Structure 1
């Protein structure tokens, strides 16, 4: 986990032509996406369709899977879970399968980054579309050989974060646009099969929280103690 100081970031949405500034509090973020080996150690499961590889980013995991993993990792490390998950096994408060989890922002356990935290961390103080030359920092359609790659194989940004662009898209905590897309959650970063256009710090994508996709993974964040 890398500790990041407080700062500001301006988010943009190409679809609606909106932009909005966000203040970001100090937080910790994993240096790379969650790997298959870590996911298997915590959950006992090895999801995904790519060939075996312990240091490959886990993929084929839904947003709900990611939330469950965060709580399980917190419990394994004796931290306070960040999310309330229903006792019926649903990712919710126990009132039905479509009830979203509650996030306790005072908890010191693992969680998904917010969309603002993700972009702030990705940019690492830069203002352009990327934090470095694309081929040096990301696996994308033109250089990935149409497959996943081990985490940490490309150059990190100035704050030591690897694979913020390319390899796998990453789930964020936020709803994408609840008035239009309901419960769909935000994805960021681009993936191994994406054109360079999609591998930019500002690009937003969305997916249903129950969908499992072969180019979507996640990384974990924590709030300071």
Structure 2
């Protein structure tokens, strides 16, 4: 886990042409996307990514899978789970709660994700695209092991490209209901999707091969 300093980040949405600034407190963020090997080690299950190779990003993981993984890992390490979850995924969106004071693992907020991705930069990317990301132009239309491209200034790898990453936030509940935010772009995406500001949305039950997650934690009090 990398300690990410606090600060301010301005988010934007091309669809609504809206922008908003968020203050971000310091937090911890994994240096790499979750791997298939780590997912299997914690859960005992074998997602497609574990069969593909241990250092590939865990993929075909839904948002619900991701938050349950966070709680499972927290309990195994003696940490306080960050989420209170309903017994079922169906109709449970209004029942899930995040305890921001818990020291367990969680998904980053959208603001935390973009703040970490930018690492103090202001442009669309934190470096030349081919140096930092696996995308359609250089991936051979397949995912790659984590850490194979150059990290950003804060030591975070694969923030752009390889797999999209789930965030905690609802995308636009008035229009899209329970759809959650995805960030970062993936191995099959064109270059314009692999930018720090790009937002994608999907239903929290979606499982698809270009979507994974990255763990975050709040610092201990």
- How does the TM-score come out when normalised to structure 1? 0.95
Task: State the distance in 1 between where 2:17 and 2:95 align.
Answer: 28
String of CA shifts for 1:90-136, please: whole Å, max 9, x gaps: 259xxx54444200000000000000000000000000000000000
2:124 corresponds in structure 1 to 129
In the alignment, which of 185, 192, 199 is matched to residue 197 of structure 1?
A: 192
Task: State the distance in 2 between where 1:51 and 1:158 align.
Answer: 32
After superposition, the CA RMSD in angstroms is 1.4
> Residue 48 of structure 1: CA displacement?
2.9
1:103 corresponds in structure 2 to 98
Task: State the distance in 1 between where 2:105 and 2:49 align.
Answer: 26
> Residue 193 of structure 1: CA displacement?
0.2
Task: State the distance in 2 between where 1:17 and 1:80 align.
Answer: 38
Gaps of 5+ in 2: none
Task: State the distance in 2 between where 1:50 and 1:220 align.
Answer: 18
2:18 corresponds in structure 1 to 18
Task: State the distance in 2 between where 1:32 and 1:187 align.
Answer: 16
Question: How many corresponding residue pairs?
Answer: 220
Assess if the C-alpha contact under 8 Å between 1:169 and 1:191 holds in 2.
yes
1:79 corresponds in structure 2 to 79
Q: Does 1:178 align with 2:165?
A: no
Alignment of 1:42-121 (within 5 A): 42-48=42-48, 52-86=52-86, 88=87, 90-91=88-89, 97-121=92-116
Deviates most, 160-169 or 42-51: 42-51
Assess if the C-alpha contact under 8 Å between 2:36 and 2:49 holds in 1.
no
> Residue 52 of structure 1: CA displacement?
1.5
Task: State the distance in 2 between where 1:223 and 1:51 align.
Answer: 31
What secondary structure sits across from 1:56 in the alignment?
A: coil
1:165 corresponds in structure 2 to 160
> Residue 3 of structure 1: CA displacement?
0.5
In the alignment, which of 187, 192, 214 is matched to residue 219 of structure 1?
A: 214
Task: State the distance in 1 between where 2:151 and 2:196 align.
Answer: 14
Q: Does 1:138 align with 2:133?
A: yes
